Amino acid sequence: MAAVDLELSEEQTAVRRLAEDFVAREVTPYAAAWDRAEEVDRAIVRKLGGVGFLGLTVSEEYGGSGGDHLSYCLVTEELGRGDSSVRGIVSVSLGLVAKTVAAWGSEEQKRAWLPRLTAGEALGCFGLTEPGTGSDAGSLATRAVRDGGDWMINGSKMFITNGTWADVVLLFARTNDTPGPKGVSAFLVPTDTPGLTRRTIHGKLGLRGQATAELVLEGVRVPDRALLGPEGKGFSIAMSALAKGRMSVAAGCVGIAQAALDAAVRYAGEREQFGRSIAHHQLVQELISDIAVDVDAARLLTWRVADLVDRGEEFATAASKAKLYASEAAVRCASNALQVYGGYGYIDEYPVGKLLRDARVMTLYEGTSQIQKLIIGRALTGVSAF
Ligand code: FAD
């Protein structure tokens, strides 16, 4: 059994400090306005690339900034602490797209996309979910059919993070009639390909600054070299991307939970009722200590996944546990912080309502909480209960 080392290295501490400074300067001051406007400032993508956050863990040979997965989690946590909409840009364009291209792409695909994605010159999105298939993603209906040396793609994708802005979609489509996951392949499709249209989804409960879109593909023609990885391997590629993606979502949730803790402690010291600050009331301290325990537990579960990934060990079940716990904890922490704020927590002049709205989706995407429980249950019992 390896020793548990909870000390950050000098490099990790420096990356965390860099992220704190970046978020304090470029994200936190604007988060509430972006939330109201339903759009983060698009210039943030270049800024994230410029500081190296869109290239973490990707090798320098392809324009990445290197680093380990714990550093990636530290940055993701800080971004989530500042604004989950910005955190989502990185979790998807780097975490789900660039890292998957790095793992599965041909040399030509890596050279074509990684330097641009890591610099923030191009943005990636991950197209798995469809209007009719969410949790049961292996049953997706989008079709890619060979047409000479090309592929012709028809179908649609729903709830695609970064979808409105993305330059490339990592798209999953059925390439043969085998029902279920085995007939699925992965493609890299530039979003300016004729036949691909997108519609921004407005009115989201949270992550309102995020450019979430529905993609429609009608006669989208791509060359054979757009295929990512072997034909028919697309579902495994998607699942391996999502396993690491869950670590990133968990880290973002730790950021939300930490922001809830910071806000609750600050407000409890300032607000006076019954002649003294509400921090003096035991039941307010209970709310705060419940948040604090959730923050620590969620962070430790998340760091454990990063450690397993960096040591090259099996991490998928640990990632599901971390994502399940951290997402549910983020909702609890934000709700408890709102309780500390009383009625003021309910209006958007104060930060905690946004934290709660942003936290809520974390229990839904990259596998709902129910799906994470089924993954964990399958690993323990050997029985698939999907
Ligand atoms: P459904 O699958 O219809 O589930 C409905 C309910 O049934 C849930 O409670 C679920 O847990 C439950 N359920 C389903 N099957 C089972 C079962 N076997 N056992 C027990 N309970 C079950 N997708 C992408 O591909 N790319 C993205 O970038 C992306 N970004 C997103 C951003 C946002 C803001 C949102 C809201 C979604 C995003 N998604 C994305 C989609 C997301 O991953 C799906 O919404 C999610 O997988 C759930 O699918 P669904 O919404 O179709 O719900």
Ligand 1: residue whose CA is nearest its atom 42 = 365
Q: What distance in Å separates the CA atoms of residue 147 and residue 70, rounded to the nearest whole number?
A: 44
**pLDDT at position 1:** 41
Ligand 1 site: residues with CB under 6 angstroms? 92, 125-129, 134-135, 159-161, 204, 207, 212, 361, 364-366, 368, 370-371, 374, 386
Q: Is residue 1 part of a domain?
A: no
**How much distance in Å is there from the Cα of 291 to the middle of ligand 1?**
27
**How much distance in Å is there from the Cα of 212 to the middle of ligand 1?**
14
Q: Indicate if 366 belongs to the active site.
A: yes
Same domain, 77 and 211: no
Which DSSP string do the residues of 150-215 spell out, in sequence order?
Answer: EEEEEEEEEEETTTTT-SEEEEEEE-SS--SGGGEEEEEEETTSTTEEEEE----SS-TTS--EEE
Give tens-digit pLDDT for 91-147. Answer: 999 999 999 999 999 999 999 999 999 999 999 999 999 999 999 999 999 999 999
**How much distance in Å is there from the Cα of 344 to the middle of ligand 1?**
32
Same domain, 142 and 275: no
Ligand 1: residue whose CA is nearest its atom 43 = 365
Same domain, 64 and 144: no
pLDDT confidence band for 375 (50 / 70 / 90): very high
- Ligand 1: which of 159, 160, 363 to mutate, most ligand atoms within 8 Å of CB? 159
Q: Percentage of the chain surpassing pLDDT 90?
A: 96
Looking at every residue in the chain, the average pLDDT score rounds to 97
Contact between 328 and 299 under an 8 Å Cβ cutoff? The reply is: no
Q: Is residue 374 part of a domain?
A: yes
Ligand 1: residue whose CA is nearest its atom 53 = 134
Angle between helices 69-82 and 10-26 (to 10 degrees): 20
**pLDDT at position 180:** 85
Note down the domain range covering 176: 126-232
Residue finishing a domain among 232, 267, 282: 232
Give tens-digit pLDDT for 54-92. Answer: 999 999 999 999 999 999 999 999 999 999 999 999 999
Q: Percentage of the chain surpassing pLDDT 70?
A: 99
Distance of CA 254 to the CA centre of its chain: 12
Contact between 199 and 151 under an 8 Å Cβ cutoff? The reply is: no
For residue 204, give the ligand 1 atom closest to its CA.
34
**How much distance in Å is there from the Cα of 134 to the middle of ligand 1?**
4
The dihedral sign for the CA sequence 106, 110, 113, 118: positive
Task: Report which DSSP code applies to 386.
Answer: -
The domain spanning residue 197 has which CATH number? 2.40.110.10
Q: Is residue 3 part of a domain?
A: no
How many independent structural domains does the chain possess? Answer: 3
Spatial neighbors of 349 by CB under 8 A, at least 6 apart, are: none
For residue 370, give the ligand 1 atom closest to its CA.
11
Same domain, 145 and 214: yes
Give tens-digit pLDDT for 275-330. Answer: 999 999 999 999 999 999 999 999 999 999 999 999 999 999 999 999 999 999 99
Alpha-helix residue ranges (DSSP H) falling in the chain: 10-26, 28-37, 43-50, 69-82, 84-90, 99-104, 107-119, 234-270, 282-310, 316-341, 352-360, 369-381
